[in-house]
Amino acid sequence: MTSMTMTSDWTTGIAGTMRAMVLTGHGGLDKLVLRDVPRPRPGRGEVLIKVGACGVNNTEINTRTAWYDRAVNASVSVELGLYGLDSSTGTSDAETIASWNSSTVAFPRIQGAAIAGRIVEVGSGVDTGRLGQRVLIDPQVRNLNLPLRAQLVAYIGSERDGGFAEHVAVPAENAHVIHSSLSDAELATFPCSYDTAEEMLERARLARGETIVITGAAGGVGTALIQLSLIRGARVVAIAGAAKEARIRALGAHEFVARESGNVRLAVEKLVGEQSVDVAADVVGGAVFGQLLKLLRRGGRYMTAGAIAGPVQPMDLRDLIYKDLEMHGVTCPTPGAFARVVGCIQSGQLRPLVEKIFPLAELPQAQAEFLKREHFGKFVIVP
Ligand SMILES: NC(=O)c1ccc[n+]([C@@H]2O[C@H](COP(=O)([O-])OP(=O)(O)OC[C@H]3O[C@@H](n4cnc5c(N)ncnc54)[C@H](OP(=O)(O)O)[C@@H]3O)[C@@H](O)[C@H]2O)c1
């Protein structure tokens, strides 16, 4: 049954306004302001979600600090994350081409890509049977005529408002029904990190018995890569800070290499042999990038979805040419990747890794702690 905008008992008590953490411009944590704003209404084909929890991701920090701007050549350091870019870079809110897809960001903006919650209102054209459904939100709002065209994606929390608020309106097709005994905070660890990781592995065609090296293995995407690689039957070599070894091994990684080892290439070769890595899944970039290309076997696949340690790196083209390597950048997972992740959650194959939960008002504190990179898994906001 379809209808005009419909509400259900779930909406009881909802006022016309809501609390939201609003990003007011590019810069430091002071650009995040807690405000009462009008509660969104679902448009045609949309549903209104009462946010149960929203995961914290680097993309919110990348956007706030304007790190995506190609004029910026810096790692996503604690200083950058806390205070924003140095004013000498000359960036301004009006001119900075600082969204992930090289467009300007419209302020004020409510960020937050990784949303778990419940449908409390449906827009016209949406089945009222969806009211009350528990859902996990795919953050990629695609052009339905060209769903695989990355540059036509509007990312929730970047090109449209996201989940650092009490409510958010999203297209109905982005709200995946989820049947799970996990809490909302646990569910909110998955979107953004796990769909990205699954897309990296799918495009890499990671197969049973192959060896994969994962950088940033203790982080949100890294822990997702470990779990999803194990589901595919691969041998996992995880690179992370030494302090995280026990937790990474407990997750099932076969081999561990401390990031502090100095020569990561030699350390990995000692464990698995020379040129025997089939896939490198890299979310760190920086100096390890060149070493990963050396580690890959002939015909190996280098996958990247992040460059927190530095986006601009030298490269020996002979590694690419004479080893017939493949290189893939991943930023927009397909609908299939998100659906597979939902399937793995429902079948209990994925472990949620909640490091810490913060209330909405403490999002700046959550980001400050996140930037220290001492966490294992995810930080989550519960409004
Ligand atoms: N393209 C996409 O769709 C997409 C989606 C999600 C995330 N990403 C990107 O992927 C990257 C990782 O995201 P994440 O959520 O997994 O991050 P995270 O939770 O912060 O984890 C990143 C890990 O990298 C390690 N690391 C190694 N070298 C580092 C350095 N120089 N500076 C800081 N950390 C360093 C840190 O752990 P150790 O100290 O243990 O090494 C940290 O745990 C980010 O760039 C993010 O923007 C992209």
pLDDT tens-digit map of 26-54: 999 999 999 999 999 999 999 999 999 99
Shared domain for 170 and 31, answered yes or no, is: yes
Bond from prior residue into 108 cis (ω within 30 degrees of 0): yes
Cα–Cα distances (Å) from 93 to 8, 23, 66, 103, 155, in that order, read 40, 11, 9, 12, 19
Beta partners for 258? 240
Query: Cα–Cα distances in Å, from 235 out to 198, 208, 215?
Result: 16, 8, 14
Closest Cα to atom 39 of ligand 1: 241
User: What is the distance in A from the centroid of ligand 1 to the CA of 308?
Assistant: 6
- 240 with 99, same domain: the answer is no
H-state helical runs in the chain: 58-65, 78-83, 184-187, 193-204, 220-231, 245-250, 264-272, 288-295, 317-322, 335-346, 363-370
CA distance 299 to 280: 12
Q: Are residues 239 and 175 in the same domain?
A: no
Q: Are residues 181 and 205 in the same domain?
A: no
216 CA from centroid of ligand 1 (Å): 5
Residues 148 and 25 in one domain: yes
CB 236 within 8 Å of CB 244 = no
Q: What is the pTM of this model?
A: 0.95
Nearest CA to ligand 1 atom 18: 219
- Buried (b) or exposed (e) across 338-358, using 16+ Cβ within 10 A? bebbbebbeeeebebbbbebb
Mapped onto helix, strand or coil, the DSSP state of residue 49 is: strand
Per-residue confidence (pLDDT) for residue 104, from 0 to 100: 84
- Domain count of the chain? 2
Output the pLDDT for position 93: 52
Same domain, 129 and 175: yes
354 lines ligand 1 (CB under 6 A): no
Task: Please check whether residue 370 lies inside any domain of the structure.
Answer: yes
Q: Is residue 13 situated within a structural domain? A: yes
Q: Are residues 251 and 282 in the same domain?
A: yes
Identify the DSSP state of 26.
Answer: S
**Looking at residue 264, which CATH number applies to its domain?**
3.40.50.720
Cα–Cα distance measured from residue 380 to residue 364, given in angstroms and rounded to the nearest whole number: 12
Residue 337 lies in a domain: no
Would 87 be classed as within a structural domain? yes
Q: Are 95 and 258 in contact (CB under 8 A)?
A: no
CA distance 66 to 45: 32
Q: What is the DSSP letter of 354?
A: E
Question: How far apart are the C-alpha atoms of 139 and 174, rounded to whole Å?
Answer: 7
Same domain, 141 and 205: no
Burial class (CB in 10 A: 0-12, 13-18, 19+), 123: buried
Residue 319 belongs to what domain range? 193-329
373 Cβ closer than 6 Å to some ligand 1 atom: yes
pLDDT of residue 15: 60
3-state secondary structure 228-272: HHHHCCCEEEEEECHHHHHHHHHCCCCEEEEHHHCCHHHHHHHHH
224 and 76 in one domain? no
Ligand 1 atom 24: the closest Cα is on which residue? 216
Shared domain for 23 and 153, answered yes or no, is yes
CA of 129 to the centre of ligand 1 (A): 39
Does residue 198 belong to any structural domain of this protein? yes
Query: What's 44's domain CATH number?
Result: 3.90.180.10
What pLDDT does 124 receive? Answer: 98
Low-confidence ranges of the chain (pLDDT < 50): 1-4, 8-13, 88, 90
- With the most atoms of ligand 1 within 8 angstroms of its CB, the residue from 79, 201, 283, 338 to mutate is 283
Domain identity same for 148 and 32: yes
Q: What are the distances in angstroms from CA 275 to CA 77, 113, 230, 235?
A: 32, 37, 21, 15
How far the first Cα of the chain sits from its last, in Å, is 31
The pLDDT of residue 97 is 75
